[in-house]
Amino acid sequence: MGCIESMKYEIILRDASFRECREYIRTNCREYIDVDPGFKIFEKHIIGVPPISIGFEGDVIIFPFTKPCYGTFLMKIEDRDEAERIRRFAVKNTK
C-alpha cells in the first residue's frame, strides 16, 4: 500500500465492493464529501467508481482503498492536516 500501508490505520470493511464502501460512509459518517477517481489521499490516487465518498469523524478520514488482488478496503486514518486539505477541496455533505 505504499505510504498508506506504513501509517497507523484501521480497517472497517475488508474485501468490500465500491458500492458497500460508499453506502457505509453515507450511512455512518455525519460528514462526507464526494470526489472523482484519481483524487489524491496521502499522495495516492484513489481508485473507484464515481462518486467516491470520503467520510470524516473530526480528524479521522474514512476512505476506500483498492488493490487488484485484495479488492477494496474501507480504511480509517487520523491525520489533521490531510483531513483539512481534503475538506478544502470539495463541497461538503453534512447530515
Partner 1 sequence: MTSENRNEGKSAVLVLGCPQVPVQTGIALYLISLLKKKGVKAVVAGNRAARLLVEVSDPERHYVGEVMDIDRYIGDIAEKNRHFDYHFVFIHNDAGVSYAATVQALTGTTVIAIIYGEHFQEMADMIEFPCEKIAAKAVHNPMPLKNKLDEVLPWVVSNL
Footprint of partner 1 (CB under 8 A): 2, 17-18, 36-38, 44-50, 66-72
Q: How far is the CB of 30 from partner 1 (least distance, A)?
A: 26
* Residue among 67 and 92 whose Cβ is closer to partner 1: 67
Q: CB count, 10 Å around CB of 89? A: 11
- Residue 87 CA to residue 31 CA, distance in Å, equals 10
Q: How far is the CB of 41 from partner 1 (least distance, A)?
A: 13
Q: How far is the CB of 69 from partner 1 (least distance, A)?
A: 4
